[in-house]
Structure formats: structure tokens, C-alpha cells
A and B are shown apart, each in its own frame.
Chain A
Amino acid sequence: MDFSFGDDQVMLRNAVRALLAHECPPEVVRAAWESDTGRTDGLWAALAEMGVVGMTAPTSVGGLGMDETDLVLLLEEAGRAALPEPLLEHTAVGIPTLAEAGGPVADAWLERAAAGEATLGAGPADGYAVGAAACDLVLLIGDQVGAVPVDGATLVEHRSIDGSRRLFEVGGDAVVLDADPALAFDRAAAAAAAQCAGVAQHLLEATVEYAAQRFQFGKPVGSYQAVKHHLADAALKIEFARPAAHHAAWCIAVGDSDRSRDVSLAKALASEAVDLAARTALQCHGAIGYTYEHDLHLWMKRGWALSAAWGDAAWHRNRIAAALGI
């Protein structure tokens, strides 16, 4: 029983954190909101250069052969930076699912996906695929996993409250992959849980910083217990969501028999954590946090979106009930 991450995992996390701190400041996220695709100019290429984009692909196709326990810290970082790039869809879901399926679709796409030359999207079959128009191949996950090449697909776009998330209904001829749809879904839900934890952590840290420097009645507002206890409650939710998210990643990596139940535990806890963090962050910022100019909303809206994506807390709580036989 060892929850600690290895030196290599921590070094990679630190490298990604440093990259995003420099290359993904709030101005870049804002620019992505205004761009054609919802994405950034160069961040995906920079992550591909580091090997992150294809890290979950087998080494035989040019990947790093890494698993969910290697990826989970990077997903948290993506959340912390509100990274508007498809790390979840492409790296956490698309590549491992294609690798699992094998066959002609994998032969056609996997190597290019591992190199970052082709981008994989993913979405629930009855939901939206984020950023599909900027992808090359989209996996639709329902009772089975269908692969739809974007070239020739019909795409119906909807706006998300998070301007970097372009929502698409995807139609077209899907090739059914020989991959477990429940596993593909769990990969997405577990990755969303890790991102939620990262978003929540940023919201908390930004609000602590603000509350320490905003003075009212001659004192920092963060010195008042009403504010402190709001923030302590948000911190509490995050403290208990993160280990569950790490455990969920491990369950996927090793094929644990309670995988689906414990992925649901992680996603429900993480959704609840980011919901509370977003609510608390706004309340503790007061009116300035309610403005479009302030950066807070970039994370708050990402939090709302990810909280609901791939099963919201209620959905996952119901799935836990079913797993418990009640």
C-alpha cells in the first residue's frame, strides 16, 4: 500500500507545471476562448514535444508506455492551469482505447496520435464531443465504442459556458472498435475527476490569496471566521477528493475488480469538491469575482463543465448504489 508517486512521476509533473505556468497564463486561456477552435496556438505541440501527448501509447508506436498513475498528476495540472487542450480526450481516453482495440483503426491512427500529428476526440454517444471539429478521429462511447473520422462527419456545434470547450454532436459512419465501452467511459470519468481536483485547487489558492490582501473594516477579509470556514470547507472537500482520484487511476491501470464503483467514488467526490470550490471562490471574492474581466470565471466555468461532464455527482452516486446492491 503505497500512495507516493515516483521521482520520475513527480519530475514530469513539475516540468508540466513549469511549462503551463509560463505558457498557459490566464491571457492565453482567454485567447483560446476567442479562437476558432477554442484551443491555444502552441501548447499542444509543446506538450507533444515533452512526450506528454502520446505518453499513454505503447512504446512500439512511439509512446512512452505510461499508464493512468503516471497521467493523473498531469491531469491535475491541466485543471490547475485551465489548460484548453484535449489531454482528457486524446491522452487519457483516445490513445489507450485505440491501443486496447487494435485492428485497422488503431493501425491507421495510433502512431500518428502518439506523435501528436493526429488528434483524437471523445464524447459520450448521447452527449457532446468537446472540440471535435479540431480533431481527426472522434470516439463515441455508449453501449459500444464507435470511431468516426471527422473528415466526412456531420458536426452540430453548441456553445459551452466555458468558451474554450466547443461542444459537438457528431454524426457519421462509425467503425465499432473492439474495446470495452465501460472501461473507456471510466477512463474519461477518472480523468475528469483529476481535472476537477486541479481546478478546485486553483480556485482555492486564488481565493486564499485574494482574501489575504483584500481589506475591509481595516483587516484582511481572510481573517474573518465566516470567510475562513468557507475556505476550510472547500479545502476539506479537495483533501478527500484527491486520494480517491489517485486510487481510481490506479484501479484503471491494474484492472481492479471494483474499478467502476471506485471511479464513481472519485468523480462524485471531485465534482462535489469543484462545485463547492467554485461557489466558495465566487462568494469570497465578492463582486469583483462576478465580473467578466476578472480571471476567476475561467476556472469557475471549467469547474462547472467538468463537474457535469462524464457523469455528474448524482449520476455517479447512483452508480455506486447499484454497485453496492441497493
Chain B
Amino acid sequence: MIEIKELNKSFDDIKAVDNVSFDIKEAEVFGLIGTNGAGKSTILRILSGVYKQESGIALIDGNEIYDNPEVKKNVFFISDEPYFWPNSTAQTMGEYYAGLYDSFDMDAYGKYIEAFRLDKDRKINTYSKGMKKQLAMLLGICSKTKYLLCDETFDGLDTVMRQAIKSMLAKEIEDRKLTPVIASHNLRELEDICDHIGLLHQGGILLSKDLEDMKLNIQKVQCVFKDEADKEKALNGVEIANENKRGQLYTFTLRTTREEAMARFSSVDTIFYEVLPLTLEEIFISETEVAGYDIKKILLG
């Protein structure tokens, strides 16, 4: 388990991480979302032992991380610009990490390299940006560490590769309870993979919630009422996060469960109604609006 409490880190006069607290449970995919400069990479670097926090607590399995090899052998950090030794190949990098991480699975690494069609003897400096990211991910997964910290790792990967890597992560989570922490500035990238989301803004954390919890308690309903009075009846006593009307068609974002929403709308006379799944983006819009932030400005520019 990763515990972060009142974590602070500044670079000269710039507060990169401002009193951040959250926990990351084992075997869950934690998405760290935020704009550029929100503090995502700084937190990952603190968790991987690259940076030392100024104050606060950052613990992995109850232990301090900085300059602690016993903890760091359970953590693999994939930087946003992964470094490979000059003139190294996929094979030599694999051997290098195998020497550093006791748990490194060279057989699995070889199979993945083949599956991803990466030439193991080709010099990495001739790889494309996407290929380097794939390789870094494979090295991280094959190190078989308990925690995998990925900084903008999906950025630059095509859809097919992204899906392939997501499948790999899912398998690792299932097989050995891997805990990936994925930082990204793009909500859409994390939508179908994360279990828990932490939203960072200007060094502070805006919210940290389970995706399922968020999805359970917020519903999008599209509906055409026969009579405006039915609208009052259906929505009486429920919190409306958002409301839109185009012609006769209403779209509501309601803070309630799917069952309750369906019960409310089936109990009134409607021409049409439908409870729709919300995208992560829509959930965030409503959640952060509650907190007084305009998420569109924060995440979507």
C-alpha cells in the first residue's frame, strides 16, 4: 500500500506539491490526473525515490522510500522520457535490469519483445518514441515489481498498442496483484483502465475517489416528458448536477443510483427516457463543479 500524507515539495519559489494526501491500495490501478505542472511527475518521482519530499509522509508498505533499496526493489518507475544507455539494445537493457531486479522475468521479457515485434538486437536509439515507450513498459512489467509508476506512459502510443498494454496490465493485476500508478494529463487515456482517480491541480489534490463509486452515484438521464409537471415529480428530492434541454429532449446529470433514477422516471409519464453511462470526463465535470472548479478549464483547456 502507498500512503501519502500532507506531502510537500517545492522547487525554489514554486510549490510543486502542496499538502497532498491520498492512499493507493494494492492491486488497484490508480490514475493521477492533472494538467502540466500539476505535480503528477513530482509525486511519482518522490514515490520512486528520485526526489526527497520537503515535508509530509510518503510510504510504500509502511517504509520510507528515499535511498532505501529494499523498498525500491518493489518499485519500477517509467519516466515520461525513459532513459536507455547509449548503444544499448532491448536485449542488453533486459540483461541490465535483470541484474538490478531479482524478480526480473527474462523469459516473459523475450516473449513480450517478440509479441510487440520489437527487434531485440536493434539499437534503441533507432527506435521511434512509441517503441521506446513500449519497451520501457515491457521492462517495467517484466521486472515483476509490486508497484509500477508510469509517467505519461500512454502518451505517444497508438490505440492498438495502448489496448495491448492495458491487457498486459490487467493480466499482471490478476496474476500477481500489480499496483500500477499511472499519471496523465489526459482523462480519456485512463477512462477504461483506472479503478481509482486522484485529480491534482496546482500542486494540490482536488479529489481522490474510486471510479466505481463515482459512477454508481451519478447518472445521466435523457428524457422527453409528456407534461412538464411530470418533470417536477420525477426530479423531486434528487440532486441535479447538470440539466440541458434541446427541444423537448432533457438531459440530466443526477446524483443518485441507477436503480433510483430508473424508478423515478418509470413512475412518471414519459414519451421516452434512458439512463446512459457517463464518460469519465462527464463524471469529473460534475464532481469538480461541486468543488467549485471548472474542470473544462483545468483538464481540457
A and B held together in a complex: no
